[in-house]
Every structure is written in structure tokens, then in C-alpha cells.
Structure 1
Amino acid sequence: METNKLKVTYDLSVDDLAAFVFFHQRKSPAARRHTSGCLFPAAAIMLAIPTLALIFNKKPIVEAIADLWMLFLFPFLFLAFTFPILKWQTKRMSQHLLREGRSMGFYGPHSLLLNEDGLHETKDAGETFRKWSAVEKMIITPSHLFIYTSGVEAFVVPRTAFPGDQDSIYFCEYILKCSDLTGHDVPQQIRSGTHILSGNT
């Protein structure tokens, strides 16, 4: 076991933490259900208005559609523009919230050490230890590594903390070995896009 490859030291920025919050809110089933539950009913109501107008309109159908086509188009434009705007607002709000209050100790110099007992994180705000049994999933994105230890908590490691792909592969494969996250091709996922590694995949 190469101990030096099982410890990473890095500066965690507000943007790194905001990236985790943004990713979690975008991928969380509960958050997605909430967003869809708000937007799609609103779009359905917008679509119902011209539909009812078309049904009760006494003009020829082609002429009525020509009069109402903008109203039929509006719900789809609403969804097309609202989702990107919500993503942008979520990212900005995450950054603002993380800068509020006494959160300074949660970003800045960090180190994360892996050993047989679990994961040890050291930062200005103190130390955090989690046993391997607490690891629920590991998410590899092009810019970050998120090691979830609960539904809303994760160790956030920027990919820039690793000198190269081989070091991040070694680090991630050690996590898979010690936790229950098995059956994944880490080298392929390190070099490609976003992947969620969990015991259910």
C-alpha cells in the first residue's frame, strides 16, 4: 500500500463547496421531484388556456390556430428558459449562502487521509472521521470527487488535488476496496464524464 497516494492536501474554495451543493440539488431525486412538481403544473395550466380557447372558438380551426399559436408555444418556451435560469440561480445562491455566517473554517486548507479504519479529514474548523461503512456512494465528475457519507454529506475533493489520473485512480480504487462500492471500472470513469458509483449500480 502506497501511503503517500492515500493522502491528498488541497485548498477547498467556496466554488468547490458550491459545486457540490449545485450537483447535489441537480441530481437529488427529491429536489428534482420538487422542481418538476412546480414547473410542469404551471406549464400545463398555460397550455390549458389556449386549448380551451381553441375548443370554444367559433372560427375555422386553421384560423383559430393561427390566432392562438403563440399561446401554445409559450408553455414550451417557459420550460426551456426556466430550467437553465433555475440552475444559474441555484449556483449563485449556493455561493452566497456559503459566504454567510461562520463558515470560513469549512473552506481553505484541507487534507483527506485514507487508511484501514476509514476517512480522516483535517481542516481549520477541526477534524472529521468516517468509517468505511458510512460511505454510501462516490461521484466522479470532470472537476471533483464527492464521497457521500449520508444523503446530504460528502467529502469534497477537487480533481486538481491529484498530480495525475493514475493517482486519482489509485485513490478511488482504494475507496472501492474498503467500502461496499464494488464492480466499477474506475480508470474509464476517471477519464470520461460524470459517474455515480454506488452499491446499487
Structure 2
Amino acid sequence: MATPSLQGKSIAFLATDGVEQVELTQPWEQIKAAGAKVTLVSLESGQIQGVHHEKQGDKFDVDAVVDDVSAEQFDGLVLPGGVFNPDALRVNETAVDFVRDFFKQHKPVAAICHGPWMLVEANVVEGRKVTSWPSVKTDLRNAGAEWVDQECVCDEGLVTSRNPDDLPAFCSKAIEEFAEGKHAQQTV
């Protein structure tokens, strides 16, 4: 099956220091290869620090600060994991609002590993079927989600996966959802 084209689509990646590097780079490369314009959005300008689990990884140039962008500018959103990354993002009201706005606009969102913590904070998982890193399971359930232990789950434009081993399925499904665009049933 051919990869859907994302030509003319603009996809935001929301991340900060402590992002699990492969969960940023692999979706970034595949979504870009499918034709999308990709933008790294973070809390501050400059660079963010990637990690390989607990080991320091590479630094990545930030393209835009979350205070200066809006969901209206993008066709979809990727939320990579890493423990510190979403934990730091979820205490920033602007970042949380940015995520919530994708749901208000019925735009596809893809979150992997610890990334779904942002979905809990944005209050957008009630009644949704999702997966994540196992330690996020209780938070998701407490927020009203149906948590399942599956490689990749898609619920009306919301794509979630558990860990880096799930990246092939995660990237493929995210690209498919970004290609489809808005989802009328996706609600806040």
C-alpha cells in the first residue's frame, strides 16, 4: 500500500527538553517524507535536548515558540514522549491550550509513549479509546479514557501508541490520519 501524500499539509510537533529522541525523529522523517511541512514547536526558542531513555541525545532546533503559533496554522499535531518532555509541557497553559485547540478544530493528533499526558491535561480523552506507556494508564483512565494495551489505537483522528517499538505502526497510522484531515466526530 502506498504512503498517503501529505503534500500541502503542515504538521506541528510539540516537544521540549527530555523528548525521547526516536519518538521525535522517526515520525518527523516519515511525515516529512510523505510531503508535509513539519514544525518543531516548543516552550522557548533555541534548541531542545533529546534523550535516549535516560541518556542524553542530540539537540534539535526549535522552529516556533508555542506562544507565537496557533492550531489554526497546522493540519495536525504530533506529541512525542519521553518522561520529562510532556511533564514539562503539561504545566504550561499555552501548550495545553494549543493541544486542546486541535481537538476543538477536529484536527488529527498523534501521541506516543508519555505524550498522552498532554491529552489528560488538555481534558480531551473522556470516552476515547487510547494507549500509552503503561505508567500513564491510570492517569488516562482517571481522565475518562478507555486504556488498552495495543501497538496503535486510532479513535476518530486520535492516534496513540505505547513505546518506540510501536513507531512503525504509529507513523503509518498518523500519516493516514493527517492525510484524511478533519474528523467531524472528534470532539472536545
TM-score where L is the length of structure 2: 0.30
Q: Which has the higher helix share?
A: 1
Q: Which has the higher strand share?
A: 2
TM-score where L is the length of structure 1: 0.29
